[in-house]
Amino acid sequence: MTNFRSQLLSVAVLALGCSTSSSSDDSRDARRDTEVLAAGDTPALASAVASPKHVQGLVGSYRHAGGQAEQDALEAAVEAVVQEMNVLTRDIARRRLLAANKIPASLAISTAEDHVTIQLDDRKYTGTIDGPAVDAVGITGDALRMTLRVREGQLVQHFVGDKGKRTNSMRRKAETVVMHVIVESESLPKSLVYDLTFAAKG
């Protein structure tokens, strides 16, 4: 019963894969390289002088171009996670994971001086590359902490909270931008992993 309640409460706060974090956890997380790159990629050290110029190739306004195929893939990934959970928590876990991972219709990446802004639909997140963690609000309204990094040409946006974390790794692929998403939580039996594809608006 204790495990069931723990799963239920933790799933309830899975917004962007995490919930509110403590200040000590924020500081520790800001100093750590916790980002996870796409499967098969080799992690690389950050650029010695990382700055917005390292993500100029990603700057632009995009629309989701993955269609129903990526929606189906997301739902399948969620199903694979919840099938390993307590049968009593599966339905609520499925609903809340899907709500917290709703596919954005649009993506915009911009720079101004030393700041980078990532906008997903009407949610804006601004930070500095390799800078300190900043306050952010998740898709379901939870208070989060966010950091930005650059890894092998990828812009890595990392959210953290008490119950988990989410990493969005954005990279250029031909004429599109691919976002590799990893949602992790101690309350999930395994990470939720999926990709989103965005094409330039126009």
CA 185 – CA 14 distance, rounded (Å): 8
pLDDT at 71: 98
Distance of CA 194 to the CA centre of its chain: 10
**Helix-strand-coil percent breakdown of the chain, rounded to 5?**
25, 40, 35
DSSP 127-175: EEBT---EEEE-TTS-EEEEEEEEETTEEEEEEEETTEEEEEEEEEETT
Q: What is the pLDDT along the chain (202 residues), one digit of tens a residue?
A: 545 445 544 554 444 444 333 333 443 443 343 333 333 343 333 444 567 888 999 999 999 999 999 999 999 999 999 999 999 999 999 999 999 999 999 999 999 989 999 999 999 999 999 999 999 988 878 889 999 999 988 999 999 987 789 999 999 999 999 999 999 998 899 999 999 999 999 7
DSSP state of 102: P
Q: In a 10 Å sphere around its CB, with 0-12 CB exposed, 13-18 middle and 19+ buried, how is residue 159 labelled?
A: buried
pLDDT at 15: 42
CB 97 within 8 A of CB 10: no
pLDDT at 81: 98
CB 102 within 8 A of CB 138: no
CB 10 within 8 A of CB 165: no
Q: How many helices (H) and strands (E) does the chain have?
A: 4, 10
pLDDT at 52: 83
pLDDT at 22: 35
Write the class of the CATH domain 2-200.
mainly beta
pLDDT at 120: 97
The first and second tokens of residue 84, run together, are: 């390993």
**Of 13, 2, 1, 194, nearest to 92 (Cα)?**
13
Instruction: Say if strands 106-112 and 60-64 run parallel, antiparallel, or are unpaired.
Output: antiparallel
pLDDT at 164: 80
pLDDT at 27: 39
